[in-house]
Amino acid sequence: MDKPYLLFLGDVPDQLAAKTARGIADWRPEWVVGQLRLPGCNADAGVPDTTVAEAAQKGARTMVVGVAFSGGVMPSHWVGTIVSAIEAGMDIASGLHDRLGDVPEIADAAAKHDRKLYDVRHSTQRFSTGKGHKRTGKRLLTVGTDCSVGKKYTVLALEREMLARGMKARFCATGQTGVFIAERGVAIDAVISDFIAGAAEWLSPDNEPDHWDLIEGQGSLFHAAFAGVTLGLLHGAQPDALVLCHEPTRTHMRGLKHMPIPKLEDCFEPYLHHAYLTNPEAKFIGISMDTHLLSPTEAERVLKSTEDRFGLPCCDPLATGTGAIVDRLTS
């Protein structure tokens, strides 16, 4: 997709709903000219606010619909803004389940102005069913107590740390935000369920013995809506190493106020039990926490107490880095 990007946040209700825009801004800031927010938007990607016209003047080539929420349906009142961006000379990229070309106004505008539409969530790759054959190379998978608890940020931070140490490592994107960041990968949650494990196998094929594929986790085994994609990815990833991701201030599953967050001590065994199906040697090598809602003192206390409690390195991938987890990985 042509760069730079204008990030469109619409009028999403909270910060987590704009995680695609935030992820691009955090990990690829040099690709971004600004963000466009509609009245009532309660999210911020941390880049300057701008209009379609101003972004076009700054050279924006693609407007990214940088939101992700349950169901992935595009609100009808966003269509006018998207058409305006097309008329200003921008291509449109989206990670929603709804396809851009299925909206007549968007399709007509793109055809009229010779602009491209990218539905990043929908892969053109054909996948086989999972086979479970042992593959060469090494694989790490992040798993979570809930959705949106730092699984993607953890593997990106691990990749950065491992490459800085001269290790062979590659971030493997399994969601629309990761695909935007890596410019490769597959949005696992848009793959037909029979082929999720096969897609994960395709994403992390045979490799050199000392090469690590760092696979972005999705969903949670403990989330009533998204456990299915988590399980298929867990089987297909065939992980040698697992990192458990958690947001310590959350009290209930995202979008499910009647379902409490599981206790950390109750999470390890279920993940290992299912991981053993395709890799009996799978093990947890660390815990990653998103502590940005805690004070620095409280964050330090939570990380240290969790590390002492479980005997695993515990870090915040942005605040403290992932060096301790890489140390455990290499030992």
DSSP string for residues in 174-224? -SHHHHHHHS----GGGS-GGGHHHHHHHHS-S--TTEEEEEPP-S-TT-T
Q: What pLDDT is stored for residue 219 in this prediction?
A: 95
Q: What pLDDT is stored for residue 73 in this prediction?
A: 78
Amino acid occupying residue 317: P
List domains and CATH numbers for the chain. 5-119 (3.40.50.720), 138-330 (3.40.50.300)
Beta strands in 67-180 (DSSP E): 91-94, 117-119, 138-144, 168-172
Q: What pLDDT is stored for residue 70 in this prediction?
A: 62
What tokens appear for 170 in the block? Answer: 């590659």
Q: What are phi and psi of 9, to 5 degrees?
A: -105, -5
Whole-model pTM?
0.91
CA pair distance 167, 5, nearest whole angstrom: 31
CA pair distance 160, 325, nearest whole angstrom: 13
Please, what are the averages of pLDDT over each run of 10 residues along the chain (331 residues)?
A: 96 90 95 97 95 97 88 84 97 92 96 96 92 97 96 97 98 95 94 96 97 97 96 98 97 94 97 98 98 96 97 97 96 87
- Among 65, 63, 127, CA closest to 98: 65
- Judge residue 300's burial from the number of C-beta atoms within 10 Å of its C-beta, 0-12 exposed, 13-18 middle, 19 or more buried: middle
- Among 265, 193, 254, 299, CA closest to 69: 254
Q: What pLDDT is stored for residue 123 in this prediction?
A: 86
What tokens appear for 294 in the block? Answer: 């805690």
CA pair distance 156, 234, nearest whole angstrom: 18
